[in-house]
């Protein structure tokens, strides 16, 4: 039974990722061994990790000024690694508070040093993006931190101001969903389980020169330089999780890369937002179209009765994980790269059919 999985992460991956992951568990790279039992120092695994890194660099057109790391701990571990590495006693970090994950990142920086909010939309449960200037000159700034896409609230930054300090962005839920200019940023990180691979690995794209500003005396595993010097294999890396990224990025390349997927992602989001606005039973939670996420489409029913009835209708139609986050309520359709356009079209038909039946 084909289920349409709108989960915000771990999320659906292309069928080819599942199939090739299974093949690799049976026999990886003609070794007659399972990928699950192979040494991370074996040539097959070292090559696979290297290939994954090159795929990232190719797909996002990243220059050699940057390195790509695959780290343990998820994006949440980055929340503390960033201030540990780059916030000193004499500098300050600036955070844009656009959701719960942004606030969690801010909290860790406050715990470890001096951090301020550059802007916040907490006053309205993060249902909009604060207005920003075109350029900022921030005092004693160690860095400024953004969350590019706010999965819970359905907002997404479409552009960034310029700053007199490094720009660090959590792109956990929209990296590889569209063309970006990586060279605009100093550090990009992303938990893999939304748009890249499975849970258990975090991708970091780091401008090597950023390490010149690094603090001393950082615990080894929390020091970016450790992982840079050891090609993400200082300790045993999460091999299988990295392999799912490899497979997914190969799939992305095969369909034309970020340029092509961006077109499809825009079509999917436009289709869905248009239906929510047209449908008499639902409302978008994010008022301004320019703030809306192309990855997580959040909406609410006109009343509780409709909400309950639509949840039931979704269940009957094999739609899963469509519930909104508990602090927002309503519905959230996460439509990352691996969500096919046809499934979004089908969901729109289901919304229309529900409207006609109620």
* 246 touches a second copy (CB under 8 A): no
The answer to whether the CB of 156 falls within 8 A of the CB of 150 is yes
* 47 touches a second copy (CB under 8 A): no
The smaller minimum CB distance to a second copy, of residues 8 and 141, is found at 8
Number of H helices, E strands in the chain: 9, 16
- H or E segment to which residue 320 belongs: strand 319-320
Task: Point out which span in 142-150, 159-167, 197-205, 345-353 binds a second copy (CB under 8 A).
Answer: 197-205
- H or E segment to which residue 342 belongs: helix 341-357
- H or E segment to which residue 252 belongs: helix 239-254
Per-residue x/- mask for a second copy, residues 112 to 131, rule CB under 8 A? x-------------------
- Choose, from 92, 194, 207, 268, the residue flagged as catalytic: 194
The answer to whether the CB of 23 falls within 8 A of the CB of 33 is no
Q: Is residue 170 flagged as an active site residue?
A: yes
CA-CA distance, 88 to 86, in Å (whole number)?
A: 6
* 199 touches a second copy (CB under 8 A): yes
- Choose, from 67, 92, 101, 186, the residue flagged as catalytic: 101
Cβ neighbours of residue 316 closer than 8 Å, sequence gap 6 or more: none
* 170 touches a second copy (CB under 8 A): no
* 209 touches a second copy (CB under 8 A): no
Angle at 49 between CA 47 and CA 296, to 5 degrees: 145
CA-CA distance, 319 to 295, in Å (whole number)?
A: 17
The smaller minimum CB distance to a second copy, of residues 247 and 351, is found at 247
Contact residues for a second copy, defined by CB under 8 A = 1-3, 5, 7-13, 17-18, 21-22, 25-26, 31-34, 36-40, 42, 72-77, 79-80, 84, 104, 107-108, 111-112, 191, 193, 198-201, 217, 219-222, 234-241, 244, 320-321
Which residues are catalytic, by number?
101, 170, 194
């Amino acid at each position: 039974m084909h289920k349409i999985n709108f989960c915000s992460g771990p999320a659906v991956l292309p069928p080819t990722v599942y199939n090739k992951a299974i093949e690799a568990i049976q026999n990886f790279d003609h070794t007659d061994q399972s990928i699950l039992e192979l040494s991370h120092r074996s040539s097959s695994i070292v090559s696979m990790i290297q290939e994954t890194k090159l795929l990232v660099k190719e797909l996002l057109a990243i220059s050699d000024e940057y390195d790509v790391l695959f780290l343990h701990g998820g994006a949440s571990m980055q929340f503390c690694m960033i201030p540990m590495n780059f916030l000193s006693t004499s500098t300050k970090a600036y955070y844009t508070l656009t959701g719960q994950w942004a606030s969690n990142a801010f909290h860790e920086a406050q715990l470890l040093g001096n951090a301020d909010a550059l802007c916040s939309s907490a006053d309205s449960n993060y249902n909009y993006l604060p207005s920003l200037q075109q350029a900022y000159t921030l005092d004693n700034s160690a860095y400024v931190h953004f969350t590019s896409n706010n999965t819970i609230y359905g907002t997404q930054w479409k552009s960034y101001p310029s700053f007199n300090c490094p720009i660090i962005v959590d792109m956990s839920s929209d990296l590889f969903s569209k063309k970006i200019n990586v060279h605009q940023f100093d550090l990009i990180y992303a938990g893999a389980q939304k748009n890249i691979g499975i849970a258990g690995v975090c991708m970091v794209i780091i401008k090597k020169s950023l390490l010149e500003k690094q603090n001393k005396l950082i615990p080894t595993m929390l020091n970016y330089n450790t992982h840079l010097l050891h090609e993400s294999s200082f300790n045993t890396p999460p091999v299988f999780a990295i392999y799912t990224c490899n497979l997914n990025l190969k799939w992305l390349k095969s369909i034309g890369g970020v340029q092509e997927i961006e077109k499809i992602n825009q079509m999917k989001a436009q289709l869905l937002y248009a239906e929510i606005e047209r449908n008499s039973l639902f409302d978008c939670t994010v008022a301004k179209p320019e703030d809306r996420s192309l990855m997580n489409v959040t909406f609410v029913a006109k009343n509780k009765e409709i909400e309950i009835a639509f949840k039931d209708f979704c269940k009957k139609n094999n739609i899963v994980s469509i519930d909104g986050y508990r602090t927002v309520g309503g519905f959230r359709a996460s439509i990352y790269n691996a969500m096919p356009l046809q499934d979004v079209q089908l969901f729109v038909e289901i919304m229309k059919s529900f409207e006609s039946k109620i």
